[in-house]
Chain A
Amino acid sequence: MEAELRERVRRLLADHDPAGTDRLDFLRARFDAGLAWVHFPPGLGGLGAPRALQALVDAELEAAGAPDNDPRRIGIGLGMAAPTLLRYGTEEQKQRFLRPLWTGEEVWCQLFSEPGAGSDLAALATRAVPEGDGWRVDGQKVWTSTAHTARWAILIARTDPDLPKHRGITYFVCDMTDPGVEVRPLRQLTGEAEFNEVFLTGVRIPDTHRLGGVGEGWQVAQTTLNNERVAIGGQAMPREGGMVGVVAATWRERPELRTHELHQRLLKAWVDAEVARLAGERLRQQLAVGQPGPEGAAMKLAFARLAQELSGLEVELLGEEGLAYDDWTMRRPETVDFNGRQAGYRYLRAKGNSIEGGTSEILRNIIAERVLGLPAEPRTDKDMPWKELPR
């Protein structure tokens, strides 16, 4: 399989010289050659190969100077929409959506969280009512990154309020250009607006854009959410590769800022960061030999705590400079820019690390129940019809 992949890469490069080929043309050709995500099926950007071989393809293409698909900019499509489409989509849906998703021609966003349903996601209130050959959707979503650049959204909505909250939900693909979809920037405590509020008013979604059965949206959403957690905090890092490197560099360059108390805290944080890095490395080694451990959920928790501790330490280390902020102008960044901005921004933005993509509290529950096997908290909402839930 490895030899075949190398041969395919060689042929792709021979037919489409990266130096002389339009970026998008190259990406489309790469998708059609099955080298986009090799573990996907043939015809859908893959070859049904082991997922681990993707690294080989990526490395060879990078070495040849081939353009990539800017994975950070289209992370939601790649990390969440694609695996869900692959598992639950119809053949038509897969053919229609996956190629422009992968090339980045069409950006995706995720219409899951609501003002009244964050960690308790299944309590969502956005309604989808049958109308003609499709559905009419009304509601409000929040914390939607890339909604302002997105062409498509994965959406969960309530289709039966008489059922308990996990059972009356259905999963759709929503066209963000449709009338009735209104995207408003949601300004954060950093001053910028990475995220959006999305208002859905009488939005028409054809039934052909439903993913999975009516009322089965919660199961479909689990695929999306599990992939989200795997996607966060999964890359290999060198020593001092994260936020600790930024603080350590300042420490080394600015001896006049050092105090004994900060020294103790910095050394503790350095140890924590290096231990977390090694734990991540160990997790990757387990995955590589086919022993996925439960540590994945833990990594996000560990990195959130570290980012917050270190970014707070950095502001203190800077002393008077820490009282300043680089820029409160409202901006709309496409990705989080931890390293491109100053300490105050890092401190404020890191506050989101323990909230976005599952709060640290929810992750602790997941570890306690699924890894340690502790019993679930008794719940009264599981069997009660959604419309009778107190809110």
Chain B
Amino acid sequence: MSAPDLLYSEIEEELRASVRDLLTDRCPPSAVLARCEGPSPYDPALWRGLAVELGVAGLHVPEEYGGAGASLRETAVVLEELGRRVAPVPFLGSAVLATGLLLAACPQDPLLAEVAAGARTVTLAVPLSTAPGAGFPGTVRAAAGGRLSGRVTSVADALTAELLLVPAEGPDGPALYAVEASAAGLGVARRTSLDLTRPLADVTLNEVPGRRLAEGGPAVRALRQALTTGAGLLASEQLGVAEWCLSTTVEYLKERRQFARRLGSFQALKHRLADLWLETVGARAAARYAADTLAAGGPDAEVAVALAQAHCGALAVRAAEECVQLHGGIGMTWEHPAHLYLKRAKADQLALGTPGHHRAALAGLVDLPGPVG
């Protein structure tokens, strides 16, 4: 096992610059805010720009399967930038979770190439709160012949997905199915979500035709791997959220005057921001370690993912809460974007396992068992 590379390569920095430029041009905070209240929660033009023009939809998919042949390290950098903007695009569902599942379950399937090219948008039909170690979901049943019935709640990125990857209990045990969003019998109902920029939907299936992608042990392992990868990479999004909150708050406190002083000159506030910065430095190291270990397929991947989620999930929430608090009354308003980050951070904390869940996972992984009984 080689030493982890916790830095960013030049290529990664170039990718970051491209994504950031595109987001600066096409994803200003005012547009994100306006979209939250409109009928269409996602920005299809922005998603096309990212997926097709920049080619980030299949970034870590090997070239032989129609992707860009980069690694999960690069995908993590994209997530940092998307987090920094709370960008309203289905990247997590399509490019991370669904792509991860296809890669693990059936890389030769032509569907993967379509998704990697940005030609089709997919998502993984599990509740967003599902942790990597959770058992195979049993809310959808497959009849012989591949007709699926059941219900999956709180699915991320389902509203725009043209295709859903559905774990279901079939006649021969667990299996993974691809379901067309337009298929008869499929219902996708938007929920009112805590996170305005990543809306959730409930998916109902009533004898919907599905195409079986994998079954049995491989299906179970592929789902677990997709969720593990998703949780590990989510830490990079959380880092991006935290960084925006910290830097925005610092800039505000440099300018804002009260008591005839700039607020940032008060030691009590400086110390809070120094502590937040310190935790962000840790989050960057933990998120990079997870991305690097997942990219390399290293034996420490499960520890790295649990560690990153245990730290970064809580940090992003704290950063967003400090951002609202230190902006004072302005931070409580709808027009200031701080609340979008708070909502994203809190929802991300629950997504793919809470910090408490991941700490409990570590207890088993690093041999620190709890008391008996």
Which B residue sits closest to A258, measured CB to CB? B371
* Chain B 176-209 interface mask (CB, 8 Å, partner A; 1/0): 0000000000000000000000000000000000
Q: What is the minimal beta-carbon distance from B371 to any residue of chain A, in angstroms?
A: 4
Q: Is B270 interfacial (CB-CB < 8 Å)?
A: yes
* Chain B 259-273 interface mask (CB, 8 Å, partner A; 1/0): 001101111011101
Which A residue sits closest to B286, measured CB to CB? A275
Given A263-B370, A377-B265, A365 contacting B270 (CB threshold 8 A): yes
* Chain A 258-291 interface mask (CB, 8 Å, partner B; 1/0): 1110011011101110111011011001100101
Q: Is the CB of B370 within 8 A of A377?
A: no
**Chain B neighbourhood of A373, CB < 8 A:** 250, 254
Q: Is the CB of A361 within 8 A of B271?
A: yes
Given A275-B285, A301-B278, A374 contacting B254 (CB threshold 8 A): yes
Which residue of A259, A271, A278, A289 is within 8 Å of B7 (Cβ)?
Answer: A289
Which of B52-60, B74-82, B358-366 lies at the binding interface?
Answer: B358-366
Q: Is the CB of A267 within 8 A of B359?
A: yes
Q: Is B343 interfacial (CB-CB < 8 Å)?
A: no
**Chain A neighbourhood of B286, CB < 8 A:** 274-275, 278
Q: What is the minimal beta-carbon distance from A251 to any residue of chain B, in angstroms?
A: 6
Most interface-central of A282, A369, A378 (chain B CB within 10 A) = A282
Which residue of B6, B270, B289 is within 8 Å of A368 (Cβ)?
Answer: B270
Q: How far is the CA of A274 from the CA of B5 in the complex (A)?
A: 16
Q: Is the CB of A259 within 8 A of B371?
A: yes
Q: Is the CB of A365 within 8 A of B6?
A: no
Q: Is the CB of A270 within 8 A of B366?
A: yes
Which residue of A252, A259, A375 is within 8 Å of B264 (Cβ)?
Answer: A375
Q: Is the interface of B mostly helix, strand, loop or mixed?
A: helix
Q: How far is the CA of A262 from the CA of B253 in the complex (A)?
A: 38
Q: What is the minimal beta-carbon distance from A288 to any residue of chain B, in angstroms?
A: 9
Q: Is the CB of A372 within 8 A of B274?
A: yes
Given A375-B264, A377-B265, A279 contacting B285 (CB threshold 8 A): yes
Q: Is the CB of A374 within 8 A of B278?
A: no
Most interface-central of A258, A272, A275, A291 (chain B CB within 10 A) = A275
| Chain A interface bracket (under 10, 10 to 19, 20 to 34, 35 or more) | 35 or more
Q: Is B332 interfacial (CB-CB < 8 Å)?
A: no
Q: What is the minimal beta-carbon distance from A262 to any residue of chain B, in angstroms?
A: 8
**How many contacts A-B (CB < 8 Å)?**
127
Q: Is the CB of B370 within 8 A of A279?
A: no
**Chain B neighbourhood of A264, CB < 8 A:** 359
**Chain A neighbourhood of B136, CB < 8 A:** none
Which residue of A274, A295, A364, A367 is within 8 Å of B307 (Cβ)?
Answer: A274
Q: How far is the CA of A263 from the CA of B288 in the complex (A)?
A: 27
Q: Is A255 interfacial (CB-CB < 8 Å)?
A: yes
**Chain B neighbourhood of A285, CB < 8 A:** 5-7
Q: Is the CB of B6 within 8 A of A252?
A: no
Q: What is the minimal beta-carbon distance from B5 to any residue of chain A, in angstroms?
A: 7
Which residue of A263, A361, A363 is within 8 Å of B363 (Cβ)?
Answer: A263
B side interface size, CB within 8 A: 43
Q: How far is the CA of A298 from the CA of B254 in the complex (A)?
A: 21
* Chain B 270-301 interface mask (CB, 8 Å, partner A; 1/0): 11011101100111111011000000000000
Which residue of A267, A361, A364, A374 is within 8 Å of B250 (Cβ)?
Answer: A374
Q: Is the CB of B271 within 8 A of A270?
A: no
Which residue of A270, A279, A369, A371 is within 8 Å of B282 (Cβ)?
Answer: A279
Which B residue sits closest to A264, measured CB to CB? B359
**Chain A neighbourhood of B277, CB < 8 A:** 298, 367, 371-372
Q: How far is the CA of A263 from the CA of B278 in the complex (A)?
A: 25
Given A368-B273, A374-B264, A376-B265, A278 contacting B289 (CB threshold 8 A): yes
**Chain A neighbourhood of B370, CB < 8 A:** 258, 260, 263
Q: Is the CB of B6 within 8 A of A281?
A: yes
Q: Is B311 interfacial (CB-CB < 8 Å)?
A: yes
Q: Is A302 interfacial (CB-CB < 8 Å)?
A: yes
Q: Is the CB of A260 within 8 A of B371?
A: yes
Q: Is the CB of B281 within 8 A of A295?
A: yes
**Chain A neighbourhood of B283, CB < 8 A:** 275
Given A275-B286, A278-B6, A282-B6, A266 contacting B368 (CB threshold 8 A): yes
Given A267-B362, A278-B6, A368-B274, A377 contacting B285 (CB threshold 8 A): no
Q: Is B1 interfacial (CB-CB < 8 Å)?
A: no
Q: What is the minimal beta-carbon distance from B158 to any residue of chain A, in angstroms?
A: 32
Q: How far is the CA of A365 from the CA of B270 in the complex (A)?
A: 7
Q: What is the minimal beta-carbon distance from B248 to any residue of chain A, in angstroms?
A: 12
Q: Is B372 interfacial (CB-CB < 8 Å)?
A: yes
Given A255-B372, A259-B371, A375 contacting B254 (CB threshold 8 A): yes
Q: Is A248 interfacial (CB-CB < 8 Å)?
A: yes
Q: Is the CB of A286 within 8 A of B7?
A: yes
Which B residue sits closest to A274, measured CB to CB? B307
Q: Is the CB of A375 within 8 A of B278?
A: no
**Chain B neighbourhood of A289, CB < 8 A:** 7
Which residue of A270, A367, A376 is within 8 Å of B278 (Cβ)?
Answer: A367
Chain B 195-231 interface residues, beta-carbon cutoff 8 Å to A: none
Q: What is the minimal beta-carbon distance from A298 to any residue of chain B, in angstroms?
A: 5
* Chain B 141-182 interface mask (CB, 8 Å, partner A; 1/0): 000000000000000000000000000000000000000000
- 15 of the cross-chain contacts (CB-CB < 8 Å) are A255-B372, A270-B368, A272-B311, A275-B283, A279-B282, A285-B7, A298-B278, A302-B282, A365-B271, A367-B274, A374-B253, A374-B270, A375-B262, A375-B264, A376-B265
| Contacts A258-B372, A279-B281, A375-B264 known; 4 new A-B pairs at CB < 8 A | A271-B310, A291-B7, A295-B281, A372-B273
